[in-house]
C-alpha cells in the first residue's frame, strides 16, 4: 500500500490537557482508526536551540525527545492533522512518502506490496520473487 510515515517529535514531559502528548497522540491515533503507532524515547539529541541532551544520570528529567510515528494512508493523515489543528497542539513533525505492507499476509491484512514502486515492484501480490534472467534482472 502507498501512504506516508508520519513522525512527531515531542519533549517527554510535554502535556496536553494533563496528559503526556506522546500518550495523547497514540490514544487519538487509535481512536481515529489508524492501524498502528509507536513511541520511542531518544537516547540523545538536540533541537532548534542546539543544546545536546543525553540520557544520563545528571540530565534533567523531561529534557529528551519522544518520537511518535504512524504509517498512514492519506485519509488517516488528514484526520490526524485536522485533530491536531483543532486541539492547537504545537508539534514538530516529519511527513515522508512510504510504501508499506505485510510479508506473508493473512486474510485480515490489507493488500500487500503490489502497488509499491522500484525495489519492491519485483515482488508480486503473492510476495513471490520473480526469477532472475541471465543479466541478474527480473
Same domain, 67 and 120: no
Alpha-carbon span 80 to 24, nearest angstrom: 12
At 108, the pLDDT band (50, 70, 90 cuts) reads: confident
Q: What is the DSSP letter of 11?
A: E
3-class state of residue 70 by DSSP: strand
- Same-domain check for residues 63 and 125: no
Could you tell me if 28 and 58 lie in one domain? yes
pTM: 0.71
Taking residues 28-33, what's their average pLDDT?
Answer: 96
Helix or strand or coil: residue 56?
coil
CA dist 30 and 14 (Å) reads 20
**Pair 94, 126 in one domain:** no
Kindly give the residue spans of alpha helices, DSSP state H, lying in the chain: 21-31, 74-87
Phi, psi of 12 (to 5 degrees): -60, -25
pLDDT tens for 38-95 read: 999 877 666 676 766 666 655 455 567 899 999 998 899 999 999 999 999 999 999 9
Q: Is residue 14 part of a domain?
A: yes
Give the pLDDT score at 105: 82
Query: Any idea what the CATH number is for the domain that residue 27 is in?
Result: 3.30.70.120
Residue 137 lies in a domain: no
* Structural domain for 37, as ranges: 2-99
Specify the number of domains making up the chain: 2
Long-range contacts of 127-134 (CB under 8 A, 24+ apart): 127/103
pLDDT band, residue 11 (cuts 50/70/90): confident
**What confidence score (pLDDT) does residue 110 get?**
67
Q: What is the pLDDT of residue 107?
A: 83
What residues have CB less than 8 Å from 117, skipping those under 6 apart?
A: 99
What is the pLDDT, as a whole number, of residue 112? 57
Amino acid at each position: 500500500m502507498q501512504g506516508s510515515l508520519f513522525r512527531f517529535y515531542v519533549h517527554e514531559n510535554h502535556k496536553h490537557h494533563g496528559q503526556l502528548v506522546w500518550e495523547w497522540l497514540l490514544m487519538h491515533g487509535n481512536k481515529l482508526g489508524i492501524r498502528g503507532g509507536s513511541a520511542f524515547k531518544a537516547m540523545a539529541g538536540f533541537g532548534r536551540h542546539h543544546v545536546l541532551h543525553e540520557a544520563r544520570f545528571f540530565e534533567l528529567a523531561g529534557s529528551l525527545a519522544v518520537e511518535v510515528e504512524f504509517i498512514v494512508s492519506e485519509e488517516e493523515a488528514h484526520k490526524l492533522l485536522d485533530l491536531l489543528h483543532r486541539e492547537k497542539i504545537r508539534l514538530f513533525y516529519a511527513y515522508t512518502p512510504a510504501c508499506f505492507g505485510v510479508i506473508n499476509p493473512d486474510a485480515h491484512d490489507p493488500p500487500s506490496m503490489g502497488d509499491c514502486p522500484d525495489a519492491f515492484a519485483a515482488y508480486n501480490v503473492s510476495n513471490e520473487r520473480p526469477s532472475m534472467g541471465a543479466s541478474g534482472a527480473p
